[in-house]
């Protein structure tokens, strides 16, 4: 169980949309976790709360055409495996660095959704004094969790030792920080930062 500073339990923000309820499924919303985070980051940016961006997808460019009078066209390129996490930036003097993943499962998050080199990257960021975590969205449940790096490391080690290859929803409930969908911002994950900071001390 993770508690907020001064012993209070972490209390997620309640969504301010009165029409939103159990009858509205995730697919009804028509947005991905990445959309929600981009919206949230835009909110943070315009209100001078934080400067956090999604990194572009890494691409290996093989061929480019330069037609006269129009824009260069990439005609052959391939996706590369990202060597870092997807999102990073700065908030309140802290370096923020995280990966976001969604799953349709209603019971657990498969660890194969993250790459070993991403876990390695998070470890190095942690060592340099950055704040690093994973945001997991259970889209079928509309539940979202901020997973501190040390929890990821522990579950990863368990898998390496031959244990289970996923994090159960029960573990999310007891070991991570839940955040709720809201209106503005959509997914206020920075609320979990004070708790992450106090863990690392």
Residue numbers of the site for its own copies (CB under 8 A)? 1-4, 9-10, 12, 45, 48, 50-51, 53, 55-59, 61, 64, 66, 70-80, 83-84, 88-97, 121, 124-125, 127-130
Nearer to its own copies, 121 or 143 (CB): 121
The C-alpha atoms of residue 65 and residue 72 are separated, in whole angstroms, by 6
Strand extents, DSSP E, the chain = 51-54, 59-65, 73-79, 87-91, 94-103, 108-110, 131-138, 143-148, 166-168, 177-179
Q: What is the DSSP letter of 9?
A: B
CB of 108 to its own copies, least distance (A): 28
Which residue intervals of 8-138 are DSSP H helices?
26-29, 33-46, 116-127
Q: Smallest distance, Å, CB 110 to its own copies?
A: 22
Residue number, 78 or 161, with CB nearest to its own copies: 78
Q: Which is nearer to its own copies, 59 or 184 (CB)?
A: 59
Q: Which is nearer to its own copies, 50 or 167 (CB)?
A: 50
Q: Shortest Cβ distance from residue 121 to its own copies (Å)?
A: 7
Q: How far is the C-alpha of 190 from the C-alpha of 135, rounded, in Å?
A: 11
| Closer residue to its own copies, CB minimum distance, 19 or 57 | 57
Q: Are 134 and 98 in contact (CB under 8 A)?
A: yes
Residues 193 and 162: their CA atoms lie apart, in Å, by: 32
Q: Which of 153, 169, 161, 150 is nearest to 110 (CA)?
A: 169
Q: Cβ distance 105 to 140 under 8 Å?
A: yes
Query: Least distance to its own copies from the beta carbon of 38, Å?
Result: 12
In the complex, least distance from residue 153 CB atom to its own copies, rounded to whole angstroms: 16
Other residues' Cβ atoms within 10 Å of the Cβ of residue 111: 18
What is the nearest approach in angstroms of its own copies to the Cβ of residue 79? 6
Q: Which is nearer to its own copies, 21 or 79 (CB)?
A: 79
């Amino acid at each position: 169980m993770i508690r907020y500073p001064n012993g209070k339990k972490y209390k997620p923000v309640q969504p301010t949309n009165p029409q939103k309820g159990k009858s509205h499924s995730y697919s009804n919303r028509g947005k991905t976790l990445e959309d929600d985070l981009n919206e949230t980051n835009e909110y943070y940016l315009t209100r001078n709360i934080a400067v956090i961006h999604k990194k572009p997808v890494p691409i290996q460019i093989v061929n480019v055409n330069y037609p006269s009078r129009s824009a260069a066209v990439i005609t052959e390129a391939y996706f590369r495996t990202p060597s870092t996490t997807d999102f990073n930036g700065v908030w309140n003097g802290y370096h923020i660095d995280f990966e976001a993943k969604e799953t349709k499962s209603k019971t657990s998050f498969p660890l194969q959704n993250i790459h070993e080199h991403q876990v390695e990257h998070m470890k190095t960021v942690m060592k340099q004094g950055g704040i690093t975590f994973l945001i997991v969205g259970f889209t079928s449940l509309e539940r979202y969790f901020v997973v501190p790096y040390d929890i990821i490391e522990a579950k990863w080690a368990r898998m390496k030792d031959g244990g289970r290859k996923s994090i159960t929803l029960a573990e999310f409930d007891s070991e991570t920080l839940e955040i709720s969908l809201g209106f503005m911002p959509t997914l206020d994950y920075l609320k979990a930062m004070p708790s992450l900071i106090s863990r690392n001390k």
